[in-house]
Amino acid sequence: MQTGKVFFDMVMSLDGFIAPEGMELAHIHDPEYKQWSKKWMGLMHWVFQQKFFRENLKIGEGGETGQDSSMQEKTFQRTSVSIMGKNMFSAGEPLWPEEAPFHTPVFVLTNQVRQPWVRPGGTTFYFVNDGTESALRQAREVAGNGDIRIAGGANTVQQYFNTGLIDEFTIHYVPVLFGQGTPLFANMNPDIKVKIRETVPSSQNVLHVTYDVEKE
C-alpha cells in the first residue's frame, strides 16, 4: 500500500492570485507588459531572500537562514517526483539553470510528443500526453512511498484538486493585492472539504498555512 502524499505548495496574493495580470507565456520576456514583473516580485520577494532558494536556483550566495528557508528546504526534500503543466515548463525551460532546480523526475502534462529531457543533477522531464491520471500513475510508480508535488501552474493544481487527488497543501499568503491575474482557486469542486492543520507567521511578511484535504 502506497503511503506517499500528493501535495502542492504555492505563494498567493491576499486576493487569491498566484500570478499578476500580464504574466502570460506570450509576455514572459517583456517585464514592462502591465508591469507584471514588478507585481510578481512583490509577491515573491521573500522567497528570493531565502538561502536555500538562492542556492538551489543558483542565483547567488547569502540569504536568510531562518524558518522560511527551512520550510523551503523541507518541501524540496520531501518531494520524490513533481508534476507540472506545459505552460509552467515552457516558461521555465529557458530560465532554469542547466542543473534544473528539481533534482527529481518531473512529469509534464502536454500535447507535445517529446523524448525525455535529461538535465544534470538528477532532473529528468517526461512528457505525458494522456492526461492527469496517467501522469499521477507514472509518478507513483517512480515515487513509491515518496511524496508527489503538483508544482503548478494553477490549472494543473485545479485539475488534481477537483478530482480529489490532493491530500494536503500549503499556501504562503503575502499581503499584496493584484485585482486581476491567475487565480489559484477557480471553478472549484464544492464537495471538496479541507481543514487547517497549521499556521506559521513569519517576520518576512508572509503567513504559511497548511491544510489537509478530508477524505471520505
- Give the pLDDT of residue 125: 98
Q: Is residue 86 part of a domain?
A: yes
Q: Tell me the pLDDT band of 29, cut-offs 50, 70 and 90.
A: confident
CATH of the domain at 28: 3.40.430.10
Contact residues for 191 (Cβ-Cβ < 8 A; gap 6+)? none
Distances (CA, A) of 20 to 10, 30, 155: 14, 13, 15
Query: Total structural domains in the chain?
Result: 1
Q: Is residue 1 part of a domain?
A: no
| Grid cell digits, residue 93 | 525551460
Which comes out higher in pLDDT, residue 29 or 122? 122
Q: Is residue 128 part of a domain?
A: yes
**Among residues 14, 32, 13, which one has the least CA distance to residue 23?**
32
The answer on pLDDT for 214 being more than 80 is yes
Q: Tell me the pLDDT band of 216, cut-offs 50, 70 and 90.
A: confident
- Give the pLDDT of residue 3: 79
Q: Is residue 155 part of a domain?
A: yes
Per-residue pLDDT, averaged over 104-120, amounts to 96
Which comes out higher in pLDDT, residue 79 or 94? 79
Q: Tell me the pLDDT band of 2, cut-offs 50, 70 and 90.
A: low
The range of the structural domain enclosing residue 11 comes to: 6-213
- Give the pLDDT of residue 31: 82
Q: Is residue 198 part of a domain?
A: yes
The answer on pLDDT for 53 being more than 90 is yes
- Give the pLDDT of residue 26: 84
Distances (CA, A) of 161 to 91, 156, 193: 23, 9, 11
